Structure 1
Amino acid sequence: MNPVQKFMEQLQQGLPSATDEFNREESFLIEMRDGVLLKTSMYFPAGTGPWPVIVIRNPYAAILPILAAAASLWTQYGYAVVLQDCRGTGDSAGNWTPFLNERNDGLDTIQWIMKQSWMNGNIGTYGHSYLSAVQWVMADRLPNEVKAMVLSGFTTERYRQHYMNGMFRHDVYTGWAIENSGVKNISTEGLFQQAVHIRPHIEMDEQIFGQKLAWYRDWITNVSPVDDYWSAGFWSDLKEIPKNIHTPILMIDGWFDQHLDGMVRDYHKLPEETRRRSRFFIGPWLPLDK
């Protein structure tokens, strides 16, 4: 059984019989506020709508077949699905800098959807890992049309994720940086072992990719939680977002996932009324099992 088949089998467990059928896929280039065009695919049920809409924003080319299969399935239950390549990834224009543009790009995409005749006034957001990050960063600014969010495997407590007992998590974030450097046409096979042996490590990016990854250098050189990089600006603001969320959230994580501690903290940051309408499921999963 290939990964797509396995995912679809798990996704369909416990679902009732489908009530609709997948009709068509259409692709658009949606313009962001700064003029950058993002590749966006729409999956529609049969008929003319309008429908509730599921929004997924994704930077990972490798999981596109899984997301496309899931989108087709959801159309069979009466949902339209919007699947967008994050800025600088896939077929979207712009430069890839992790996290930097996701708040504005996500909110611009939501506003575009709200203007479409096939949207019935109900939007939900969905995704795991970075696909959850793109939800967190805009969660305090969502319009009333966004009725729910599904978040798994990501926390707003970023210093706690990048560092454990004062040590940078090379096992997670050096590997992630290599796989998501934004450098085109390079094989990443064997690069992690090469990267962790480069001294001084700050030169890893230039030796492997021929260019500096400024965001990765920020991660490895700001070693204290009181450094301005973590305690002020973007990352500090991100930690405060859960306190101002009014959209119900389904949060999911595993006992063996490195994000669990931070996600528990995020859940308790939610306003009492939001938390009352939200749920947090924790199960016996590794990060990729979910």
Structure 2
Amino acid sequence: MSAAARLGGLLADAALGLPLRATRYTVERGVAVPVPDGVTLLGDHYRPAAASGPLPVVLIRLPYGRAGLLAHALAAPFARRGFQVFVQSTRGTFGSGGHFRPFTTEREDGLATLAWLRAQDWCDGRVAMTGASYFGHTQWAVAPYADPPLVAVSPHVTAARITTAFYDHGAPGLENALRWSVAIGRQEAGGLPGPLNPRLRARVDRALRLLPLQAADTAAVGAPVPFWRDFTGHAAPGDPFWAVADHDGADLSRMPPANMVTGWWDLFAAAQLTDVTRLQAAGVPVRLTVGPWLHGDPAELREAVRTDVAWLRHHLQGGPAPSGAPVRLYLQQAGTWLETTSWPPPGTRAEVLHLRADGTLTGGAGTPGEAPRTFTHDPADPTPTVGGPLLERPGKQADNRAVEARDDVLVWTGPVLERDLDVVGHVRARVSVRPELAHADLVVRLCDVDPAGVSRNVVDGIRRLDPRSVPAADVAVGTDGALAVDVELFPTAYRFRAGHRLRVQVAGGAFPRFARNLGTGDPFAVPASGRPCRFEVLGDAAHPSRIELPVLG
């Protein structure tokens, strides 16, 4: 290892907030791994220079390349701490053979790679996996099926049910899907997933507004992108195409201990915290950190690497167990961390607030005869989204006053809080609604209104209504045709300060974060125009509408 490489490693450690280490290692690049269908996958093998004999292996499988910044940030920090690391490019990326169809071949390829590793004379049979986002998905594609099991995993900012990032309760996540399609469509020509240059961003913004949407990838990046075609072509409820990609139904009996990092504004947070609950129920040891981060925030990635160093040292090198409570949650607007034993944290109580006909948000249910409130969602002028858990900036919290002033958004506002209110856990709503069309979207958003009247989004959720999936467990049909729709909002840990007010928005869309519902029932990327939909939102005694908050303390 050259002096320049060692200096670069020390600088990378400093940027990641790690103690400086200068352990020497060797790298064998372009190691070929054959898989059963004849394709060869390429990987880089990092090994401590002074090591002799077999060692455990940290496996990282990713589609974004193995060199440059990714090597310095994701593989070398572990190699500098004496770990043996194998970093592999997934099928069809950066020299690996085959065709890259995201999420569809990672189980077979991952298990084949695991078997190959265990057969090498430099591997002692113990393998752990780590990585964030897509290379968190590659862990879920292997860990529940590995036999013998992996030693440990660290699936950060990802989810067992990966499709929740692109289809949220039936609604296609248009903006995140197109921006990621553009990133992977151009990455081997010099780009990586992340912020786009202004010119390309403008092209993507125009493509998001195209109708029909089928060729939005070509409009944005100049050529078809296979993932975009899969995303637009397999969006129907229950489409079997994605069965190979989702692993939330896997048997967890072989899951090893897991270390997870995510952010309250990460697009995977809701599904990932559902995974945490499932793993805890199955008796799998889990450590969890949730910070105030958007997907890919540098602080989020630093926390993932920092916690993984201690995690892997414990499981692969016999180091001490990580200290502190297993669950750490950043309480937003309080500037503090909560430590607890599990997710969701014990000791919360449900506070129910009702959406009343006069636009107030109160603890009392509606009375008989209260008139419904109405709005019309027009897909030709879709309700915009502001802030939220996006794949890239801007996201997080934003001023929602311009959205709330639109006539296609209804708001309910609570009284001024006399004391701080800490909401920690999963937020849920039930809205009684009578949409004019059978195909419609229902969006519910919880906001924090400060003393100056600025309304900022905290959490939200969407439910796409479709006759093929209504009635359902989360949609009940009344005798008068009204629908009682359960909407799962994002989880959070958030302090509403004394002097602030809570506000709930209800709308028929959140564009371009979600594809507009054109009301026709056709596949979402096919129609060139849509139909307006009038909604009645009810709140009387027979049709209560409410939001349920998990309040701490």
Normalised by the shorter chain, which TM-score bucket? Answer: 0.7 to 0.9
2:239 pairs with one of 228, 231, 256: 228
The corresponding residue for 2:150 is 146
Structure 1 unaligned residues grouped into runs of 5+: none
Single out whichever of 191-200 and 111-120 deviates more from structure 2: 191-200
The corresponding residue for 2:91 is 87
The corresponding residue for 1:23 is 26
Q: Tell me, in whole angstroms, the C-alpha distance in 2 between the residues paired with 1:151 and 1:140.
A: 12
Q: Contact 2:133–2:157 at 8 Å: present in 1 too?
A: yes
1:65 pairs with one of 68, 78, 81: 68
Q: Contact 1:96–1:182 at 8 Å: present in 2 too?
A: no
Q: Tell me, in whole angstroms, the C-alpha distance in 2 between the residues paired with 1:58 and 1:122.
A: 20
Q: Contact 2:280–2:286 at 8 Å: present in 1 too?
A: no
1:210-243 Cα shifts (integer Å, max 9, x gaps): 765454234235555x33347x7325x5221264
2:278 pairs with one of 259, 269, 272: 269
Q: Contact 2:279–2:286 at 8 Å: present in 1 too?
A: no
How has the CA–CA distance of structure 1 residues 255 and 21 changed in structure 2, closer, same or farther, with 3 Å as cutoff? same
The question of 1:198 aligning with 2:210 is answered: yes
Output aligned runs, 1:95-244, within 5 Å: 95-144=99-148, 146-164=150-168, 166-181=170-185, 185=189, 190=200, 191-207=203-219, 212-213=224-225, 215-223=227-235, 226-229=237-240, 233-235=243-245, 238-241=247-250, 243-244=252-253
Q: What letter corresponds to residue 24 of structure 2 in structure 1?
A: E
Q: Tell me, in whole angstroms, the C-alpha distance in 2 between the residues paired with 1:204 and 1:264.
A: 32
1:101-142 Cα shifts (integer Å, max 9, x gaps): 111111111111101111123211011100101111122112
The corresponding residue for 2:323 is none
Query: What secondary structure does 2:144 align onto?
Result: helix
How has the CA–CA distance of structure 1 residues 273 and 23 changed in structure 2, closer, same or farther, with 3 Å as cutoff? same
The question of 1:9 aligning with 2:22 is answered: no
Shift of 1:5: 8.0
How has the CA–CA distance of structure 1 residues 242 and 133 changed in structure 2, closer, same or farther, with 3 Å as cutoff? farther
Q: Contact 1:136–1:241 at 8 Å: present in 2 too?
A: no
2:267 pairs with one of 258, 262, 265: 258
How many residues are aligned here?
A: 281
The corresponding residue for 2:291 is 283
1:55-104 Cα shifts (integer Å, max 9, x gaps): 1111113x732332242332232211101111101111111100111111
1:195-214 Cα shifts (integer Å, max 9, x gaps): 21332111224555676545
1:153-204 Cα shifts (integer Å, max 9, x gaps): 1112344322346542222111001111379649785141242133211122
Aligned CA RMSD, in angstroms, stands at 3.0
Q: Tell me, in whole angstroms, the C-alpha distance in 1 between the residues paired with 2:58 and 2:148.
A: 15
Larger radius of gyration: 2
How has the CA–CA distance of structure 1 residues 159 and 132 changed in structure 2, closer, same or farther, with 3 Å as cutoff? closer
Q: Tell me, in whole angstroms, the C-alpha distance in 1 between the residues paired with 2:143 and 2:152.
A: 10
Single out whichever of 206-215 and 120-129 deviates more from structure 2: 206-215
The corresponding residue for 1:37 is 40
Q: What letter corresponds to residue 202 of structure 1 in structure 2?
A: Q
Q: Contact 1:243–1:271 at 8 Å: present in 2 too?
A: no
Tell me which protein shows more strand as a share of its residues: 2
Q: Tell me, in whole angstroms, the C-alpha distance in 1 between the residues paired with 2:206 and 2:251.
A: 38
Q: Contact 2:27–2:44 at 8 Å: present in 1 too?
A: no
How has the CA–CA distance of structure 1 residues 284 and 271 changed in structure 2, closer, same or farther, with 3 Å as cutoff? closer
How has the CA–CA distance of structure 1 residues 23 and 227 changed in structure 2, closer, same or farther, with 3 Å as cutoff? closer
Q: Tell me, in whole angstroms, the C-alpha distance in 2 between the residues paired with 1:6 and 1:19.
A: 11
How has the CA–CA distance of structure 1 residues 108 and 166 changed in structure 2, closer, same or farther, with 3 Å as cutoff? closer
Runs (4 or more) in structure 1 with deviation over 6 Å come to 3-6
How has the CA–CA distance of structure 1 residues 185 and 212 changed in structure 2, closer, same or farther, with 3 Å as cutoff? same
Q: What letter corresponds to residue 151 of structure 1 in structure 2?
A: P
Q: What letter corresponds to residue 255 of structure 2 in structure 1?
A: H
Query: What secondary structure does 1:283 align onto?
Result: strand
Q: Contact 2:175–2:208 at 8 Å: present in 1 too?
A: no
Q: Contact 1:245–1:271 at 8 Å: present in 2 too?
A: no
How has the CA–CA distance of structure 1 residues 145 and 156 changed in structure 2, closer, same or farther, with 3 Å as cutoff? closer
Structure 2 unaligned residues grouped into runs of 5+: 1-7, 301-553
Q: Tell me, in whole angstroms, the C-alpha distance in 1 between the residues paired with 2:77 and 2:165.
A: 33
Q: Tell me, in whole angstroms, the C-alpha distance in 2 between the residues paired with 1:19 and 1:132.
A: 27
Tell me which protein shows more helix as a share of its residues: 1
1:256-279 Cα shifts (integer Å, max 9, x gaps): 11111100111112264543x221
How has the CA–CA distance of structure 1 residues 22 and 271 changed in structure 2, closer, same or farther, with 3 Å as cutoff? same
